[in-house]
Amino acid sequence: MPEFAASLAFMNQHRGHYPSAMKHVRLAIPRFDEEETSEWIESLDAVLAQWGPSRTRFLMTELINDATAKGVPISPPIITPMCNSIPTSMEPAYPGDLTIELKISNLIRWNAAVMVSDGNRRAPGVGGHIGTFASVCDMVEVGNNHFFRGRGYGGGMGDQLYIQGHASPGIYARAYLEGRLSLDQILNFRQESGGNGLSSYPHPRLMPEFWENPTVSMGIGPLQAAYQARFFRYLHLRGLADTSSSRVWCFIGDGESDEPETVDAIAVAGRERLNNLIFIVNCNYQRLDGPVRGNSKVVQEFEGMYRGAGFDCIKLVWGDAWNELIDADHDGQLIEALERTPDGDEQRWAAKQDGALLRKELFEANGLLDRVAHLSDAELISAYMLPGGHDHKKIFAAFTQAEKNADTGGRPTVILAKTLKGFSMATFQGRNTVHQQKSMKVDEMLTFRDVLDLPLTDEQIKNPKGGEFFRKPAEDSPEVQYMLARRKELGGFLSRKPAQTS
């Protein structure tokens, strides 16, 4: 390790170079009233001495926000505290029937998981991914019910949707409930040789009547999305098509964000100021072979990367129950403790699902036991296990703000959503092995069924006949009618490739 040690020594030796250079820069800036400036600095020193860094950071952030709102050209911090960008008090009212939407999400989440698991039971080695869609399901469903516009919306061209490649089973599962895919097709997931199967990943060449945009291999989804948004702008500015209300929505994995194509997409979108582009980064902390950032903070890192490239950034970190603890964090100590906690520990707490462990390692270790004295261990871990990416109201607030940015802003938007990989699959959610999970044992399926509260008997799960595993309400059921009504109001189904015209 001598070379590494030498590098550290060099860095420590020259640590003061940049601050000393900045002193000369500051001397060239007009000071105006030097006495007043000194008073401001003394006030800051006093707050820091009496109340510490948390209060100081809060005051500085508030000053910057207020100055920005009043037109002062000052850049906000690149990385903000580890909490939701939209406070609870500013969330819009949820317009949908939340009870029925949660039932629909559970049906789709079940069918997507069973599609992969049952396929591997009948044809071992067929592959697929269970955990990815489980983590992104709620965001996709809020989008489908309230935001994603089809081609029949308002006389425009509708939106373009780029789905995380490994989440394709969930899109098939929704299309099955909508009546666009048959049970035979669902049973032949990843088995296309007979001509009646479903492709592994989104690709119009493999399923020309279904998929419009390919998103695998990893990284091509965000890259194409950026250039699609650029093309939408080109069409509109030249009067070739009305794309003024068209958005490009792109779901990206946090592991996928390390792909060079993704980084290129971020640069293009920021440079071109593509305000019609919305990235949703599914921060479930896991890639194909392990943690994305086990020893650091992926949400914080990505916020700096996207803001630095010129994006508006919306952080969707905590669900409603945990956010109550954040709202009560009057001195910022809990937020600071969370910012010091690496993703690997956060993931371990989720995998263990142990409220006593969470209380000890996060709250007791940081002198914050009084903050959770009113919560039992079960209540504490329950709040922790529902992050922002699974809270429909928080998701709706984030998507609404992204739409406002697209309407009035001059920059692309990224939503950084904290989720759990394998969400609601109690036996393996949050574990490092979940990405490679291809099937579920009978006891795991029984537990999964109970968590989702689905009307399936033990016998149907233990000894399935035909497609008994899959749940599809009748066409006139409230769930199916609700789904169809929402898509009709939003201009038609997504994903669906339009018929070719000459």
**Closest to 171 measured CA to CA, from 198, 153, 208:** 198
Spatial contact of 112 and 189, defined as CB atoms under 8 Å apart: no
Tell me what the pLDDT averaged over the chain comes to.
90
CA distance 7 to 266: 31
What pLDDT shows up at residue 434? Answer: 87
The reported pLDDT for the residue numbered 31 is: 59
Q: Measure the CA–CA gap between 225 and 30, rounded to whole angstroms.
A: 45
Provide the pLDDT for residue 29: 56
Instruction: State how far the alpha carbon of 448 is from the alpha carbons of 141, 440, 499, in Å.
Output: 19, 9, 39
d(CA 468, CA 477): 18
The predicted structure's pLDDT at residue 216: 92
Q: Is the pLDDT of residue 1 over 80?
A: no
Per-residue pLDDT of 223-280, as tens digits, reads 999 999 999 999 999 999 999 999 999 999 999 999 999 999 999 999 999 999 999 9
pTM: 0.90
Rounded Cα distance between 106 and 159, Å, is 25
How far is Cα 238 from Cα 179, in angstroms, rounded to an integer?
Answer: 38
**Structural domains in the chain plus CATH codes:** 24-77 (no CATH), 89-319+386-489 (3.40.50.970)
Binned at pLDDT 50, 70 and 90, residue 432 comes out as confident
pLDDT tens for each residue of 285-340: 999 878 999 999 999 999 999 999 999 999 999 999 999 999 999 888 999 999 99
272/414 Cα distance (integer angstroms): 15
Question: Is a pLDDT exceeding 50 seen at residue 11?
Answer: no
Query: Nearest to residue 481, comparing CAs of 104, 170, 203?
Result: 104
Taken in order 429, 430, 431, 433, the sign of the CA dihedral is: positive
Q: What is the pLDDT of residues 331-377, one digit of tens each?
A: 889 999 999 999 999 999 999 999 999 999 999 999 999 999 999 99
The pLDDT confidence band at residue 10, using thresholds 50, 70 and 90, is very low
